[in-house]
Chains A and B, each alone.
Chain A
Amino acid sequence: MSSKGPVIVMEAPEKLNHSEAQAFLAELQPLLQSDRPRIVLDCSQVQHMDSAGIEMLLSSMGEAMKRDGDIKLANLSPASGAILELMRVDRLFEIFETAEEATRSFQTVALPEVTPTLPWYSSGYGFADLKSAS
């Protein structure tokens, strides 16, 4: 499956604390309102993150998912990664080494191939099929 809409890469601020997170969320809000928002947050600048920052990330992801979109994180510093892990948030986001990788992941989302098979009880199978199977 390939997605056709644009993927927006945004650079997260140096500090993701209460005040900065609010300002950043205000910036992010118009993008979240669009149809299927696909956003990559480049966290390479993030030096400080607290619970308000994490709450902002979670609420933005919630908003994005409501509109069938997603937010992915890229370029996380070791400290930010450790904080997300401590707060059990790391498992909620897709995290990539670089913003490019995160962008690419939006553009090609491989779904597992599903081969159309008929259930055994459907009319597609006849007695002969069952006999040959055995």
Chain B
Amino acid sequence: MGLGAIVVPGELYRNAPAGIAPNMDALLSDPLAYLEVAGRSTLERTIERFVRAEVDAVSVLQTEAGSRGVRPSFTAFENVEFQTVSDLRPAIQQKLQEYSQSGIEHSFLLFGNIYAETDLLDLFYFHREARQTATRTLNREGTLDLWVVDCLKAQDFDLDAMFLQPKTSSNSYFIREYVNRLITARDLRRLASDLLQGRCVARPSGREVKRGIWIDEGAEVHRWARVVAPAYIGSSSKIMQDTLITRQSSVEKNCCIDYGTVVEDSSILQNTEIGICLDVCHAIANGNKLLSLDRDVVIEISDPAVMRSNYPLPKPATARKWASNISLFNRRKQRQPTPARLQPAGSAPERRGFETNSMKG
């Protein structure tokens, strides 16, 4: 008896009623499921959960509009395929048909950005024993868009009707484990905090260099930077001198936190550079945009010295402009006598840069 999984990330948010996530479009262009939190996206974590539950095939269906051409960077899992489709409902029906033809009798269906740490096999056994076409899940906060369906019967099923079934069904599967619906950016922050505080089974990626401090591959933390547990520093990120990363903050991959800046109870999303001597508190920073969770407002910073994105790469014209700035900067720097130049010939220049942080957390 085969088991499949169909994951439709981001779609719940796109269908969310107006006003549920007013700041999302201003802050983020991608569905929350694609964003890395403590080193890995929830989509990646969810797929891994399906793979670990020995699901035979996992299909990730994404709409062109919904995904905006996003392709997750991970390809480590076998039996996982990504498909970009124009219309989701026929695509889901078709996928169920394909599963049925290839001997997969039941399939999980996951819509939206939900991250649920439920026992998938237990959910499947519950569904099989209930002998129903579809089994929906729910938790304390209400129904969830995580289902198990009978592939053969669900082909002829009206998916819209299925999704609109009464909110509390006696045949629903109750999830007691950790669930994050990831509807708003606030949920994203909560997930980061929960991961770092061990409120869920999943852990931040990378190495726990000290209790509660997770450092990913290639991250550089200046020895005079202070990282207070719990915190996460993503791969290839740089934490400069005299910075403070504290209170369940996560700095995702390829970020830079410059001199003297404080990051407190905040998430710095990937490819974000934060300038010198700033206070990023109770916020989510993404490129040059900052969502203040206290004030519930997104601000866009036009000054690249304060905040900026280092992704995507600049266009050729901009690159030339940048290059000219860099060359000017270098020329200016060349005029100054650097300590290395003042040293007598033959002596090795002082090694500068990042070294292993003593971690005062």
Min CB gap A82→B, angstroms: 4
Considering only residues 274-299 of chain B, those with a C-beta below 8 Å from chain A are 277-281, 283, 290, 292, 294-297, 299
Q: Is B302 an interface residue (CB 8 A)?
A: yes
Q: Assess the B295–A81 pair: CB atoms within 8 A.
A: yes
> Which single residue of chain A is at the shortest CB-CB distance from B307?
A86
Q: Assess the A82–B278 pair: CB atoms within 8 A.
A: no
Q: Is A88 an interface residue (CB 8 A)?
A: yes
Min CB gap B303→A, angstroms: 5
Q: Is A87 an interface residue (CB 8 A)?
A: yes
Residues from chain A with Cβ under 8 Å of B299 in the complex: 79, 82-83, 86
> Which single residue of chain B is at the shortest CB-CB distance from A87?
B278
Min CB gap B181→A, angstroms: 25
Q: Assess the A88–B278 pair: CB atoms within 8 A.
A: yes
Min CB gap B185→A, angstroms: 14
Number of A-B contacts (CB under 8 A): 41
Which DSSP category, helix, strand, loop or mixed, fits chain A's interface?
helix
Q: Is B328 an interface residue (CB 8 A)?
A: no
Q: Could you give, for residues 65-103 of chain A, a 1 whenever the CB lies within 8 Å of some chain B CB and a 0 otherwise?
A: 000000000000111011101111000000000000000
- A82, B277: Cα distance in complex, Å: 15
For the side of the interface on A, what is the size category?
Answer: 10 to 19
Q: Assess the A88–B279 pair: CB atoms within 8 A.
A: yes
Q: Is A45 an interface residue (CB 8 A)?
A: no
Partner of B280, one of A77, A79, A83, A86: A86
Min CB gap B148→A, angstroms: 43
Q: Assess the B279–A82 pair: CB atoms within 8 A.
A: no
Q: Assess the B303–A85 pair: CB atoms within 8 A.
A: no
User: 9 additional contacts, CB 8 Å, given A86-B280, A86-B283?
Assistant: A50-B303, A51-B306, A78-B296, A79-B295, A79-B297, A82-B294, A86-B290, A86-B299, A86-B306
Q: Please list 15 pairs of residues, one from A and one from B, whose beta carbons are closer than 8 Å in the complex, sorted by A's number.
A: A50-B302, A51-B303, A51-B306, A77-B297, A78-B296, A79-B295, A82-B290, A82-B295, A83-B299, A86-B299, A86-B306, A87-B278, A87-B279, A87-B306, A88-B278
